Amino acid sequence: MEKYAIIGGHPLHGEVEIGGAKNAALAILAAAVMTDDPVTIENVPDVMDTNVLLQAMERIGVKIERPERHTVKMDSSDIYDCIIKDEYMKKIRASYYMVGALLGKYKRAEVPLPGGCNIGIRAIDQHIKGFKALGAKVSVSHGSIVAEAKELRGTHIFMDKVSVGATINIMMAATMATGKTIIENVAKEPHVVDLANFLNSMGANIKGAGTDVIRIKGVERLHSTVYTIIPDQIEAGTFMMAAAATRGDITVRNVIPKHLECITAKLQEIGCRIYEYDDAVRIVAKDPLSSTQVKTLPYPGFPTDMQPQMTVVLGLAQGTSIVTESIFDNRFKYADELVRMGAQVKVESNTAIITGVERYSGATISAPDLRAGAALALAAMAAEGETLIEDIHYIERGYEDFDTKLRGLGAKISKVKTERDLTKFRFQIAN
Ligand code: EPZ
């Protein structure tokens, strides 16, 4: 199994190019099957989650070409099945977007339910509520979610909980329902808006994405489009936190600064200097960092996907910080690993109390999930000495070329498989 070997203690400097948003890509790739016309999607990140989804779509007859690494051309005119069997699909949460997409287009879908998740229980009751309100029969059978309808009819849905996934799924199904659907209390994340823009570019009639209420007039068919996915807010935020953790100076390029405001505000609050440009943000973290309080919230609040990275930074800030996780119930699993690196973090229920330390020290640790894995890599780059991070496949689910991009910023990081690789890495760093 590959690991990251990292020798820390070096401030990161330079520029890094941010890729397309993974979570937008997953929704948009799924939605692309809703037309029989050819679709071209640009700025698709080349990460495990998107690649698994594309493979599963190929297995039901979608023709996929990748003329360039980040461009996907899809032709869904020959889909021959609404049943996704792919075992791998259980491993990616977004597999359930195929339910909304196939149900909308073919009025039937059967997709394996995502398995257990490392960040806590991830219910799907709001998805089911939405599909049922549109007139579908929904059941869970042999580990799969099965949804079917003679006809989907527009309706008024009030979501009991703000859910990114349910908003996306219901929006897709309602796009091809007859009549008008109003969905209230929806998620406002940038990728919800990106999906609505993508569907509209195929001829859908969706208004209000980015506000609390989405209004959809169903259409009979969708058509061809060429669409570019938005930059990844969380990848950008992770590199911003890398600057803060290592006391560096990083410019993240190809971003939408507006999407980063919740992250920018917190970094400024703790003492980082931030410079915003049209499509770039520079973070300078030369001054001592101070403590703060952070609570994760749906967008435009502080993202749960940035919570571990923020905690890593606050672990190096003067004073006591409090981080409250209000979206998922098990997102502090990495705290034990961070403590092994010398952090002072105490977790009580959904709150972490963090007393800043001067520096972390390298250790052998493992990535418990995607964002926590990335956060631990940031801790390793700030730490004194060598860190080995195991289970980096979690990180590779959502960060493209993570180690390469970090090396471009001066990080001493390498992917190692064998003892020989590790010895070679140590030798190269020492010489
Ligand atoms: C999306 O997950 C993202 N995944 C997550 O990113 C992200 O952490 C999350 O939104 C919150 O921003 C994708 O976009 C593929 P939710 P999702 O439905 O849609 C509860 C990453 O690291 N809930 O907004 O699954 C749920 O249990 C990943 O990139 C219900 O109760 O999140 C949770 O507590 C991890 N019933 C809360 O709502 C439901 O039917 C928010 O979940 C649905 C959700």
Which positions are annotated as active-site residues? 117
Is 90 exceeded by the pLDDT of residue 76? yes
What is the per-residue pLDDT for 115? 60
Only one residue has tokens 């990140």, namely 45
The total of other beta-carbon atoms located within 10 Å of residue 42's CB is: 14
Whole-angstrom distance, CA of residue 343 vs CA of residue 362: 11
What is the per-residue pLDDT for 77? 97
Q: Which amino acid is at 258?
A: K
For residue 125, give the ligand 1 atom closest to its CA. 40
Tell whether omega for the bond before 300 is within 30 degrees of 0, i.e. cis.
Answer: yes
**120, 156 in Cβ contact below 8 A?**
no
Is 60 exceeded by the pLDDT of residue 149? yes
The set of residues, in sequence order, having a beta carbon less than 8 Å from that of 101 and lying 6+ positions away, is: 30, 31, 33, 34, 109, 172
Pocket-forming residues, ligand 1, beta carbon under 6 Å? 23, 26, 93-94, 121-127, 161, 163-166, 187, 304-305, 327-328, 370-371, 398
For residue 23, give the ligand 1 atom closest to its CA. 14
Mean pLDDT of 48-57: 92
Least confident of 75-79, 139-143, 230-234, 400-404: 139-143
The total of other beta-carbon atoms located within 10 Å of residue 377's CB is: 30
DSSP 134: T
Mean pLDDT of 392-398: 94
For residue 234, give the ligand 1 atom closest to its CA. 29
The values of phi and psi at residue 338, to 5°, are: -65, -35
Closest CA to ligand 1's atom 13: 23
What is the per-residue pLDDT for 120? 61
The stretches of 247-299 forming alpha helices (DSSP H) are 261-269
The values of phi and psi at residue 6, to 5°, are: -130, 130
What is the per-residue pLDDT for 110? 94
What is the per-residue pLDDT for 119? 61
423 alpha carbon to ligand 1 midpoint, in Å? 41
CA distances from 257 to 90, 260, 371 (A): 34, 5, 21
Query: What is the pTM (predicted TM-score) of this model?
Result: 0.97
For all residues of the chain together, what is the average pLDDT? 95
Mean pLDDT of 382-394: 97
Determine the residue of 232, 297, 327, 350 to mutate for testing ligand 1's pocket, defined as the one with the most ligand atoms within 8 A of the Cβ atom: 327
Closest CA to ligand 1's atom 8: 305
Mean pLDDT of 90-118: 85
Per-residue pLDDT reduced to its tens digit, 316-371: 999 999 999 999 988 999 999 999 999 999 999 999 999 999 999 999 999 999 99
pLDDT > 90 in the chain, percent = 91
93 alpha carbon to ligand 1 midpoint, in Å? 9
Is 60 exceeded by the pLDDT of residue 117? no
What is the per-residue pLDDT for 1? 87
What is the per-residue pLDDT for 92? 77
Residue 277: beta bridge partners? none
What is the per-residue pLDDT for 121? 61
The set of residues, in sequence order, having a beta carbon less than 8 Å from that of 45 and lying 6+ positions away, is: 19, 20, 21, 22, 25, 70, 229, 232, 398, 400
Whole-angstrom distance, CA of residue 106 vs CA of residue 119: 33
What is the per-residue pLDDT for 180? 98
pLDDT > 70 in the chain, percent = 97
The set of residues, in sequence order, having a beta carbon less than 8 Å from that of 340 and lying 6+ positions away, is: 363, 365
What is the per-residue pLDDT for 85? 79
CA distances from 251 to 102, 165, 260, 282, 336 (A): 40, 31, 13, 4, 31
What is the per-residue pLDDT for 306? 98
Per-residue pLDDT reduced to its tens digit, 266-318: 999 999 999 999 999 999 999 999 999 999 999 999 999 999 999 999 999 99
For residue 187, give the ligand 1 atom closest to its CA. 24
**362, 377 in Cβ contact below 8 A?**
no
Per-residue pLDDT reduced to its tens digit, 158-208: 999 999 999 999 999 999 999 999 999 999 999 999 999 999 999 999 999
The set of residues, in sequence order, having a beta carbon less than 8 Å from that of 265 and lying 6+ positions away, is: none
Closest CA to ligand 1's atom 37: 327
Least confident of 73-77, 103-107, 113-117, 132-136: 113-117
By three-state DSSP, how is residue 71 classified? strand
Mean pLDDT of 223-251: 98
Mean pLDDT of 144-149: 94
Least confident of 10-19, 137-146, 384-393, 421-430: 137-146
